[in-house]
Amino acid sequence: MTPEVGDIRGAPVIIGAGVAGLMTALHLAPHPVYLLSPTWLGTEASSALAQGALAASLGADDSPDLHLADTLAAGDGLCDESVVRRVLNAADRAIENLMDLGVAFDCSWDGTLRLGLEAAHSRRRIVNAGGDSTGRELVRAHHRCEANAFDHNSGRHGSPPAHCGKWAGQRRAGGKKCTGDCLSDPSTGGIGALFRDTTNPPGSFGHGLALAACAGAELADLEFIQFHPTALDVSHRPMPLVSEAVRGEGAVLINERGHRFLSNTLGGELASRDVVARAVWQQLATGHRVYLDARQSLGQKFAKRFPAVARHCRDGGIDPAVEPIPVRPAAHYHMGGVAVDAAGRSTVPGLWACGEVACTGLHGANRLASNSLTEAVTTSLWVAQSVAAAPAGWQWPRLVAKAPLPPDPSSVRHVASNALGVIRDGQALSDTVETLLPIAVRNTAASDPALIALMIAIAALRREESRGSHCRSDFPPRSAQARSSRLTLASAMTVAAELSLRPAERSA
């Protein structure tokens, strides 16, 4: 890995600049760390776009055990229960911690935190800030803390939690070892930019995953990609989200004939996200158009309750108070990632990951809404403690500038969208592996995106069942036993080379 950030020595490196990375840096203060990001800090992190918020069992009718049961049910057999328990038990403390940092969560008239409802949660437990702008509020609060501690103009840092670096780097496949310590966070973790339809920023094509894979780290459950069922159906990217909380307030999904197609499904519009996304997808695939109808449930109250969604609708010429909102599924969150423990340690000594790029086992096959910011905030403390406990005299990485190739996923997007979407099949997946292999091994701007799409396709091909967000039309049943999947760059390359042999050579 050779990011063009100058010569960095003497401090751990956090790749990315979303909430998980920023909080890890704050926990590590006064020890300096580097935050590396494809863009200026926070400007393109998925965290900053998050409308939904943190899930925590704060209501009088709620408990961490109920939250645990909902998380395990959504995860469809693949959650690591010990990690789920640890994260969810720490959620209320994490929210207090954020309030101490100045995050102003939304309150009810009596001054208590207002708790929203999202899909597959059996209780109201979603804590928001700024109505539907929680991610932006969180990133802002962290920047305020950073600005207080580090004066960029004078270069003096009383007690600097972080330095800002701009990452324009490129790694090369081939198993070059990344020495020292790196941490990753959501802005490098998302993979939505590999798809035509996504709610993720354009830089989210799995750069952090590529980095970790090249360092030899194991990646876990890569095939599990969450498609949000209700992205606003507009032409620009990223697609604005129409938060699940809108359905939590009673909005319903209809097609152009006004038919409420989820009315006979258990949980209806608030069934788990994979179920709703598939139902919307099937409507679109059979020639229908799909709308979220909030006229009855919210009407004129819409703009006050969901100001960001209302603004996006207005920009698209839609008034949700009086007309249904056109929606479609979009790649939104990657449950898979760098295989780590709850302290963010990957299988490569000295390499940590946290946030969306990491796979801790919290989300399993399908993330429960708003559990990811909860994960980012809670695990950042454990990651920081683990980094701080690194032995004295540890060799932190030395990253040397090299001419960067701004990565460009555009040539991969068509292939990934067709094969890795809401419904998959084996033939399309093996064709995709064959198409992507030559792109992934060449040193071009498309190599990293192609490498990650290739690894996802291999993981999806190997999982011959349908579970959570992974749906195979050629293997509809769910296997009796749930198994997490693991892949390294070396094993992926072996499988890809084998699949790419022509049938004649394969049988020879």
Question: Which chain residues interact with ligand SIN by CB under 6 A?
Answer: 51-52, 241, 243-245, 333, 369-370, 372
302 versus 333: smaller Cβ distance to ligand SIN: 333
46 versus 347: smaller Cβ distance to ligand SIN: 46
For helices 371-388 and 91-100, give the axis angle rounded to 10 degrees: 80
Cα torsion angle, 13, 192, 105, 318, sign: positive
376 versus 399: smaller Cβ distance to ligand SIN: 376
Task: Compute the least distance from the CB of residue 62 to ligand SIN, in Å.
Answer: 18
Say which of 123, 136, 273, 467 is annotated catalytic: 273
68 versus 457: smaller Cβ distance to ligand SIN: 68
Tokens of 267: 């949980």
17 versus 245: smaller Cβ distance to ligand SIN: 245
Question: What are 291's strand-pairing partners?
Answer: 254, 326
Task: Compute the least distance from the CB of residue 374 to ligand SIN, in Å.
Answer: 9
Task: Compute the least distance from the CB of residue 53 to ligand SIN, in Å.
Answer: 7
Cα torsion angle, 445, 446, 447, 453, sign: positive
Interatomic CA distance for residues 248 and 259, integer angstroms: 19
Task: Compute the least distance from the CB of residue 337 to ligand SIN, in Å.
Answer: 16
Which run of H or E residues covers position 25?
helix 19-28
Interatomic CA distance for residues 289 and 308, integer angstroms: 23
H helices of 150-243, in order, are 186-189, 207-214
DSSP per-residue string spanning 73-88 = HHHTT---HHHHHHHH
The secondary structure of 22-49, three-state, reads HHHHHHHCCCCCEEEECCCCCCCCHHHH
105 versus 475: smaller Cβ distance to ligand SIN: 105
Task: Compute the least distance from the CB of residue 249 to ligand SIN, in Å.
Answer: 12
Q: Does residue 424 have an active-site annotation?
A: no
133 versus 170: smaller Cβ distance to ligand SIN: 133
Spell out the residues 6+ positions from residue 376 whose beta carbon is closer than 8 angstroms to its own.
18, 19, 20, 23, 47, 185, 186, 354, 355, 356
Task: Compute the least distance from the CB of residue 55 to ligand SIN, in Å.
Answer: 8
Task: Compute the least distance from the CB of residue 56 to ligand SIN, in Å.
Answer: 13
62: how many CB neighbours lie within 10 A of its CB? 17
Tokens of 103: 């995050």
333 versus 352: smaller Cβ distance to ligand SIN: 333
Task: Compute the least distance from the CB of residue 66 to ligand SIN, in Å.
Answer: 18
Tokens of 324: 């249904």
Please count the helices (runs of H) and the strands (runs of E) in the chain: 18, 15
Structural contact between residues 192 and 326, judged by C-beta atoms closer than 8 angstroms: no
Using alpha carbons only, give the angle 479, 481, 487 rounded to the nearest 5 degrees: 90
In 112-236, DSSP assigns E strands to 115-116, 126-127, 163-166, 182-184, 219-220, 225-232
Tokens of 227: 């498609």
Closest CA to 353 of 448, 213, 226, 168: 213
Catalytic residues: 273
